[in-house]
Structure formats: structure tokens, C-alpha cells
Chains A and B, each alone.
Chain A
Amino acid sequence: MRYQRWFTPWVLVIPALTWLLVFNLWPSVNTVILSFTNAKPLGGGTFVGLRNFETLLQDEQLRWALLNSVIYMVVCLPFLTVLPLLLAVLVEKKLPGITFFRTAFYTPVVASAVVVALIWQWILDDRGLVNGLAEKLGVISGPLPFLSDQWLLLFSAISLTIWKGLGYYMIIYLAALGNVGRDLHEAAAVDGAGPLRRFVHITVPGVRGTMILISILISVSALRVFSELFILTGGKGGPGGRDNSVVMLIQQYSQGFEGNLGYASALSIVLFFVTVVPMLILARLNRRGAEA
């Protein structure tokens, strides 16, 4: 049964649908088309066949970027699935002032990655807070090169991403915790189960679905990392360009007279496949877990 003129729904949907077509669907198609060209950032370009994809195979920076992405994902996953859940349990109980703590813990999320990375750049500076304190305490004799060593730089960016993500996943867990039966907790407590056992046997299974969703989100966002690495490496991708991410490479090819949007598009297709694979694996894992 319809209760309005046939075009009314379309009038309401058309703006959003136009945006979807012009800025989502068409660009997806166009990315594939562009990847067979050598389009320039300022316009122009010709069809070059598979040349961009041949270049991909020999791109040493891309190999480093992919390796970095995998490391990023593997390190972020355990930290960001577990720590935010503990935080959510911590802020779940409505103690006086808890809203303040929830808001405060969420602050790193609302701050721009650029702001946060500049703050950490200063903290991790050769003469910054961390090195200064560590030297004072006698843990190290000279400053650790957090911002100039290939691996320290990568792990600095990873810890920054983890720190910035805590509040975000905490909030998602917090929403999920609301659905975990309180009576279940109470019953377990009657039976003498301590907080730890209740956490492992009630809370964790109760938020299992959310946990899978969160691990998908973490994996995808780890593979898409850009701002943190860009700022910490000063946009240069670290020593020898070995601290790039795939998105950083895409950005580098998007600019200037030497830019190549065709190659950047080919890199975008690589990005698409590397982000889709973990998504499919985790979604499958979810389904199998649900059946079991």
C-alpha cells in the first residue's frame, strides 16, 4: 500500500543517491579506468595498457609499504581488541564523575590525527619527554631515535594509532556491554564467580559479535593508515622511503608535475584488495563461529 505520490520518495532520495553515484560509484569505476592510463594531476594523460601494473610488481617502496601494513595490522589487532574492552568495563559502572572520564578517554579520538601526531612528535623528539625521562632515570645513555630509525618510527606510529583508537572501540564495546545480561552476572556472582571469571565467561562471550566487528574495523583502518606516518616521517616516508603506507604512496603520486594519477589508481586497486581480504576472512570466521 502506498500513501503518497509515486515521485515523493524519489524526491527525498535523489540528493543522497546523486552523491552516491557521483562521488562513490563512479569513482570506483573510474579508478579502474584510470589505472590503465598515465593521467596527470593537472589533467591530460593517455592509455598505457598494463604498464602501471608491471611497475607495481617492481616497486620496492610498495613492498615495504605492504610489509609495514601487515606489521601494523598484526600489532594493532590484539591491543585494540582487548584494551578497549577492559576500558569499557572500567567506565561501564555509573560512578560519580564517570561521564567526565568517558569523555576524557574519547578525546584522542576527536582530535585530528595531525594534531595528535604533532604532539607525539614532540614527546618522542630526541630531546623530548620520553627520551629526557628515560635518560634521567638512567635507562638509556643516549636518546633513542624514535623518529629517524626505520623500525622505531614504525612502532612509534603504531603505538600512536593504538593510543588514539582506545576510546573509539571503548565506546562501541560500551554500547555492546549494555546488552550483556545483568542477571547473568548476578547469577554467576551468587554461584561465587569472581570478577575475573565473570569477565572471561560472561562478558567476553557476550560481546563476541562486537569483538569480530571491531577486529574487522581495526584491520581495515590499520591498512589505511596515513596521517600518523605522514606527520611522524615529515611526509617523506622515513629513511629511504621504507616507512610508507600504501595510502602514503597514493598521496605522493597524486601531486605535482611528476605525479601520476594512473599509477596512484593502480595503487588504489592494491589497497582495495589488501583491505577486502581481512574483511572477508573475519566475516567468514564470524559465520563459522556463529554456527558452532
Chain B
Amino acid sequence: MSVVTDPARPAVVEAPGTPPARRRGSFGFNTVSTREKVVRYVLLMFVLLITIGPFLWQLSTSLKGSGEDIYTRIPRLLPAQPTFEHYGAVADTIPVWDYAKNSLVVAVLVVGGNVIGASLAGFALSRLQFRGRRLVLGLFLATLVLPGEVTIISQYVTVREFGLANTLFGVALPGMIGALNVLLMYNAFRSLPVEVDHAAIVDGANAWQRFVYIGLPSVRGTISVVAIFAFIGAWDDFLWPLIVLTDPDKYTLTVGLQYLSGTFSNNPRLIAAGTMIAFIPIVIVFATLQRFFFKGVEEGAVKG
């Protein structure tokens, strides 16, 4: 927050809900005029309609009864005969709950791997001195310019050589320690002053103790960003599981949804219900954790 330097004016803190008292012609950046507020909220609502509208429309379609005309020219958002029957029908068509479980297994493995592997490496690279540190760091940086799709075929060959083609573990494995996450953790650990380390060393703390008691507590924001993104990335991924998995029993949700829409169904209500099954969990995860995410953004954890 900037400091209000004008002594004639009391410091105005952004107080939600209270309209700021301002005279005409005055200006201030902690205060918002009523007119500006109205304009801002109108614009916010407009963008909200554009970003959230399609999801609501899909939700509405998934809840509309089989007898209800979903093709009406005047779109009706609220279902006339609301029903959950299509959610059951999806499960009768494809093993959608197994797919959800498969997605979850992959996501948990990827989150665990990244949180552990990336924080360990990030800590060592930023806070421990050792020969070869710069080289290792350079290797991690170098792979960032390489789009993942370029190596996806030979990655598949590697996973196949391990005997993991067509397995969920094969889907999770390559993403379990991402180079980008290592660099994010490296950056986060680096923002801690070196003096703290020196003090701990004087007190006789070894590297592991410095990692657990000094390093980790100071990078919680970045760890949550890494975890959130690893989860979302694994849950949403499509191309990689599509290449690795050939057996419909082992599909993850995204591949299963494509299977549903491509093979079985022209019923928009059914596909809508399927998409909601994949969409709602991720929204809940994100909505619950968003404050960590936005906090991480402020700490500079998101830089592309």
C-alpha cells in the first residue's frame, strides 16, 4: 500500500463497502468514485457472462429432461424438468467413475512427486554450495524452451521400454518432477536472506534441518502454486494419456469423455453431464485453494 502523503487529507484505506468521502476535483487511488464503481461492475458482469456463461449453459443442458426440447430457439437457461438422470446414463455408457478414479490416481502421483522432488532440488540448487550447481541449473533452464509435444513420441518410447505403456503409472511417471517446478522452487528458496542460513549454521543446524525448519515454512505459497498447477495439469491433460493408454478400461476422464462423445453418443445432455463430471471437481479444488494461488501470484510464483 502506498502512503498518503498529503497531510491535509486523512489516510483513506480501502474499506470495502464504505463509499469514500471525496470532494469534487479531488483524486485518489485508494478511493473509487461511485460512477467509476458502476462502470467497473457493469464491465465485470459483462466479462463474467462471457467466461462463466458457457459453463452454466452446459450445466443447464445436463439437467434438462429427456422430453424437454433443448434446441429451442429462445434459449432457456433453467431446465423445465430438471433431472439428474443423464449423470446416471453416462455411468451406464462408459465407466465414468472409474475414469474419475484413474484421473485422481494420476493427479495424486504427479502432485506428490512434484512437491517432494521439486522442493528438494530447488532447495539444494539455491541454498547449498556445490560443484556442478550451475551446470545442473543450466540443464533445467535449457529444457524450458523445449515444448513438451516435441519429445512426446520418444517419451512414449521410453515409457514403453519400461513396460509401462497402457498403465496409469506410465501416464503419471514423466510428469512427476517438472523442470519448471524445480525452477519455481529454486526461485522461492532464493528469496530467503543468506544470513538466516548462516545463523542456523552457527547454531549447528545441518542441511536437512535447514530445509525442514527454515526453507519449507518460507516457501509455502510457492509450494501450493506448484501443487495446484500439478493437480490441474494432470487432471486436465489429454494428449499424453491419449497416447499412452490404449485400453478403454484404463482411460482417464479426458480421454474417456472424448471416447464418449466420439463413439457412443449424439445426445448433448449426456455429453453435458459427462463434461460436468470432469469439470466440477477441478472447480471445487481451485475455488477452495484460490487464495493460496493468488497469494503465490503476488509472491511472484507465476511467471509463465
Contact = CB atoms under 8 A, between A and B. Distances in A.
Interface of A: 1-4, 6, 8-10, 12-13, 15-17, 19-20, 22-28, 30-31, 34, 39, 41, 43, 87, 90-91, 93-96, 99, 101-108, 110-116, 118-123, 125, 127, 129, 132-133, 135-136, 163, 166-167, 171-172, 174-175, 178, 182-183, 185-186, 189-190, 213-214, 217, 220, 223-224, 226-227, 230-231, 234-235, 247, 250-251, 254-255, 261, 264-265, 268-269, 271-272, 275-276, 279
B48 A3 contact: no
A158 to B, nearest CB: 16
Contact of A118 (B47, B130, B275): B275
Given A15-B120, A101-B44, 17 more contacts: A9-B207, A12-B211, A16-B117, A16-B179, A25-B143, A27-B155, A107-B55, A110-B232, A111-B282, A112-B236, A114-B238, A119-B275, A132-B75, A223-B147, A226-B149, A268-B151, A268-B153
B109 interface: no
Majority SS of interface residues in chain A?
A: helix
B80 interface: no
Interface string B240-276: 0011001000000110011001100000100110110
Interface string B150-161: 111111111010
Contacts of A111: 55, 236, 279, 282-283
Contacts of A224: 147, 149
Contact of B51 (A108, A115, A122): A108
Nearest to B231: A110
Nearest to A267: B153
B96 interface: no
- By Cβ-Cβ distance, the 9 closest A-B pairs, closest first, are A16-B121, A112-B236, A12-B124, A27-B151, A30-B154, A27-B154, A19-B177, A9-B130, A23-B174
B255 to A, nearest CB: 8
B106 interface: no
A271 B52 contact: no
A103 B287 contact: yes
B58 A16 contact: no
A279 B145 contact: yes
A254 B158 contact: no
Nearest to A195: B36
Nearest to A246: B149
Contacts, number: 292
B29 A172 contact: no
Majority SS of interface residues in chain B?
A: helix
B40 interface: yes
B124 A19 contact: no
A34 B48 contact: no
Given A30-B154, A122-B271, A183-B2, A113 B238 contact: yes
27 contacts: A12-B121, A15-B116, A15-B120, A16-B117, A16-B177, A16-B179, A26-B158, A27-B158, A41-B156, A90-B47, A94-B16, A99-B291, A105-B47, A106-B290, A111-B55, A111-B236, A112-B236, A112-B278, A112-B282, A114-B236, A119-B58, A132-B71, A132-B72, A136-B74, A251-B242, A261-B153, A275-B147
A104 B157 CA distance: 39
A271 B140 contact: no
Contact of A31 (B151, B243, B268): B151
Chain A CB within 10 Å — which of B32, B54, B174 has the most? B54
B18 to A, nearest CB: 10
Contacts of A231: 258, 261
A122 B275 CA distance: 11
Contacts of A227: 238-239
A118 B257 contact: yes
A123 B57 contact: yes
B130 A6 contact: yes
